[in-house]
Structure 1
Amino acid sequence: MNQKRTRIPLPHPPPYRQSRASFWLTLLVGLLITFAIGASIYMIIDSLISGSITTTNRGPRTTYLRDLQPRRYWFEVVWQSLVPLMLVSVALFGLRIYLKVRK
């Protein structure tokens, strides 16, 4: 006997539909990451314009001036530029995962 004729087709589960809560949570996380990237870039641009940068470590804050301490100033600019780059990479990776799951 042919199996195709006797086999009963199984019901398929409904396609995945994202809930409202997960949609808004995803949107909120995306907005928070975007705000953090924008704030970091604003602080770096403001430091480049003013010529002074303040460290963002947890200890006592130190301010470096471009004219008086150029090496430490530029090191701190590069160091603080890594934060937005890391956040952009996290955002792009999260977007990639979100789009893969959504398909």
Structure 2
Amino acid sequence: MNQKRTRVLLPHPPPYWQSRLSYWLTVLAGVLIAIAVCLSIYMLIESWISGSITTNNRGPRSTYTLALQPRRYWFEFVWQSFWTAFMLAIGVFGLWIYRKGRVREQRPKRKRTSQ
């Protein structure tokens, strides 16, 4: 007997389709992370040019200058650079995960033309 005729087809679940809400929430999260990274990079460049940096803590903020407190200035600069790089890595990792999780579109195969 032919196996295709005797085999019982099993039901398969429908493929996952991302809803509009989850798509736009993902876009919003990506845009917010990108804005945060860009603003943090801007702050670092501006503090490097001006020679003074302000801490980002919740309590009273402190300002360190390169001329008066070089150790604290460079410590704060490296600390803020670390968190900027961390946010950038989270954004890139999130984009990678999002691209891996997406279902590829099924394109019809081209038919060969004989010449």
Q: Please say whether Structure 1 and Structure 2 have the same fold, judged by a TM-score greater than 0.5.
A: yes
Aligned pairs for 1:1-103 within 5 A: 5-103=5-103
Residue 86 of structure 2 aligns to a residue in which SS? helix
Residue 32 of structure 1 aligns to a residue in which SS? helix
The C-alpha deviation readout for 1:30-89, integer Å capped at 9, x for no partner, is 000000001100111110111110111112111101111111111110001111111111
Residue 98 of structure 1 aligns to a residue in which SS? helix
Mind listing any 5+ residue stretches in structure 2 that lack a counterpart?
104-115
Mind listing any 5+ residue stretches in structure 1 that lack a counterpart?
none
Number of residue pairs the alignment of both structures matches: 103
Q: Distance in 2 between matches of 1:58 and 1:24?
A: 31
- Provide TM-score, normalisation by structure 1: 0.90
Paired-residue identity, %: 64
Q: CA deviation at 1:12?
A: 2.8
Superposed CA RMSD in Å reads 1.6
Q: Distance in 1 between matches of 2:25 and 2:60?
A: 35
Q: Which structure features the higher share of helix residues? A: 1
Q: CA deviation at 1:5?
A: 4.1
- Provide TM-score, normalisation by structure 2: 0.81
Q: Distance in 2 between matches of 1:93 and 1:11?
A: 35
Q: CA deviation at 1:4?
A: 5.4
What amino acid is the match of 2:6?
Answer: T
